[in-house]
Amino acid sequence: MTKNVFVIGLNDMNAERLTRLRGVEDVVFHPLLTPAQVSETQDFDIPAMLAEAEGVLDSFDGSIDAIVGYIDFPVSTMLPLLCKKYGTKNASLESLLKCEHKFWSRKVMSEVIPEHIPKFTAFDPFDDNALAKIGEADLRFPFFVKPIKSSGSRLGFRIDSPEDFDYATEKLRAEIRSIGEPFDYVLSQAEMPDDIRAVEGHYCMAEQVIGGRQCTVEGYVYNGEVVPYGTVDSIRYPQVLSFFYYLYPSTLPKRVQDIMNDITRTIMTHIGYDNAGFNIEYYWDEVSNKIWLLEINTRIAQSHCDLFEMVDGVSHQQVTIDLGLGRRPDMPQGEGPQNVAGEFFYRVFFNDATVSRVPSKAEIAVAAEQVDGTRISSYVAKNSLLSELPEQDAYSFAVASVWMGASKQSKLLWNYEQVMKKLNYEFTDIVE
């Protein structure tokens, strides 16, 4: 019998990935809202998007067997509302917010894994006395600030001085309400403790600086069972906070990965998160042998889909679809054609610039042909401004992504260099 799965923000690349999953021969995938509405914009009218989605679902002449997504805010926070209304599987809104509301998340973590989280406090960026109040919470320079509802690495800043804080505050005041106001709507739909409700969507977090070797544990919860299934290394450019590439499988020692998996089971069970995928970002401080939990994301990492397919034989969208349909995920290990795989981010470190040249489709195809199985996505158009790109960190712009696999990590890096020699981007009006 045909199963109907509605995918919020479905694009062509992910529609193709979905056809290669296991056990989808009887599944029909339906797009629900467009990528332009949910990921290619900074304007999130959540009530309007929910109303449009409900209109599509209400008029559908057939069974609604699953409603899923693979995108961060606002998709992740809309899913529990839609799934509850239409009776499909997903985590509850409250358990999801215990991950996505960064202050609530840290408070919950402090109850069961206090030794794995940094000092933290919430603050209002529109409060002129915010810096003094952060000091009263026993946070000293350096510390890190980010929105209470972060999206990617957007509006995250390392603060080493009052001048850094003033710069970050200026940026936060200018841009944070684009996420804060729609997030407030989501918060209004949830049952929350009074002390958490007082920390509104435009608030920010200040946290002790933590660091080390960064990784992401991908996992899911099925009927109360927490299952970590893969760890991906997050490798940064030297001396900056921007990511250079993601590497799967992780090169961290097995004993460290085992401890991270135990922490993962503890916190996700405590939160009560169930029947949905997630990932948790960690640091391992090799010098002190300290493991820090950075944050929990209530979705699979879209960037890791091709990595799992190359190494394990199937994209971990398998997890999202199976859980949405109420099935235990059929996620293999080590059945792919490659031993290692990575996503590389080609970045430029400008404050802004105009894109004066981009590779043609033919040039991108030639570059990809340098290494079998390579896929390249270019994110910019000629004459566009880098500052128009959505979901960028505070220190660079990701111009393109390159996914590829290899027999070992050193070969993977060499392959990337060969591909990039064939890609030519140029910029004018550069703001250093």
pLDDT averaged over every residue in the chain:
96
Q: 3-96 with 119-208: one CATH topology?
A: no
Contact 148, 101 (CB under 8 A): yes
Q: What is the mean pLDDT of residues 130-152?
A: 93
Q: What is the mean pLDDT of residues 326-348?
A: 97
What does the block give as tokens for 178?
Answer: 């684009």
DSSP element (H, E) containing 179: helix 177-188
Q: Which of 355, 356, 359 shows the shortest CA–CA distance to 376?
A: 359
Residue that the structure tokens 């809202």 belong to: 33
pLDDT band at 152 (very low <50, low <70, confident <90, very high): low
Any idea which fold 3-96 has?
Answer: Rossmann fold (3.40.50)
Q: Give the integer Cα–Cα distance in Å for 139 and 32.
A: 44
pLDDT tens for 221-234 read 999 999 999 999 99
Contact 250, 257 (CB under 8 A): yes
SS3 for 232?
strand
HSE-up of residue 405 (Cα within 13 Å, Cβ side): 20
Weakest-pLDDT range from 186-190, 225-229, 327-331, 386-390: 386-390
pLDDT band at 40 (very low <50, low <70, confident <90, very high): confident
Q: What is the mean pLDDT of residues 367-396?
A: 92
pLDDT tens for 73-126 read 999 999 999 999 999 999 999 999 999 999 999 999 999 999 999 999 999 999
Q: What is the mean pLDDT of residues 400-410?
A: 97
Any idea which fold 213-431 has?
Answer: D-amino Acid Aminotransferase; Chain A, domain 1 (3.30.470)
SS3 for 412?
helix
Please report the pLDDT score of residue 56 as a whole number: 98
Q: Which CATH number fits domain 119-208: 3.20.20.150, 3.30.1490.20, 3.20.20.70, 1.10.760.10?
A: 3.30.1490.20
Please report the pLDDT score of residue 211 as a whole number: 94
Percent of the chain with pLDDT over 70: 100
Please state the pTM of the whole predicted model. Answer: 0.94
Domain residue ranges of the chain, discontinuous segments joined by +: 3-96, 119-208, 213-431
Would the pLDDT of 355 be above 80? yes
